Amino acid sequence: MGGAMSEELKAKIREIPDFPRKGILFYDITTLLSDPIGFKQTIDIFTERYQNKKIDTVVGIEARGFVVASALAYNLNTGLTLIRKPGKLPYKTVKKSYELEYGTNEIEIHEDAISPGQKVLLVDDLLATGGTIRAAVDLVDQLEGEILECAFMIELVFLNGREKLKDVDIFSIMQY
């Protein structure tokens, strides 16, 4: 996105070195979320972009993605679908393993969360190496949802996460 708004929002994000392990610079969005103007501006940017896209459900990825996805789904008058860590969803699920910049993990979604052909917007707070969102895309594809775009508050361009997502459109508000 770039521009003055992006820089204004970047100024509200706290950077924490060596978290969750040495060598990782963590972009803490809690400081942006706790700022009523910054949080509203963030949701407004997403809302303006997607309000006429006929989205059926906004898919939020655990955990910080839930915050943005729920507010956006409310504004867009759509459903909200959750992708969670294993063992957190009570019904039958489909699961996908993935690698991230500091380890491995798995995510899952209810097997009936998305109907074939349903228009889906995937939302998370951060695009880093692309492992988590790639796994989420694969889960939505497995359920035969139609992904309109993957949306992020922040993209760490230097980690080349987009390389894992050449088959989907990407939007990020802030890039580092």
Catalytic residue (one of 49, 62, 99, 101): 101
- Provide the pairing of β-strand 14-17 with 25-28: antiparallel
Select which of 64, 84, 108, 155 is catalytic. Answer: 64
Number of CB atoms found within 10 A of residue 150's CB: 27
Closest CA relative to residue 49, chosen from 155, 141, 121: 121
Instruction: Indicate if 48 belongs to the active site.
Output: no
Q: Is 64 a catalytic residue?
A: yes
> What tokens does 127 get?
């695009």
Per the omega criterion (within 30 degrees of 0), is the bond before 20 cis?
A: yes
**Annotated catalytic sites, by residue?**
64, 101
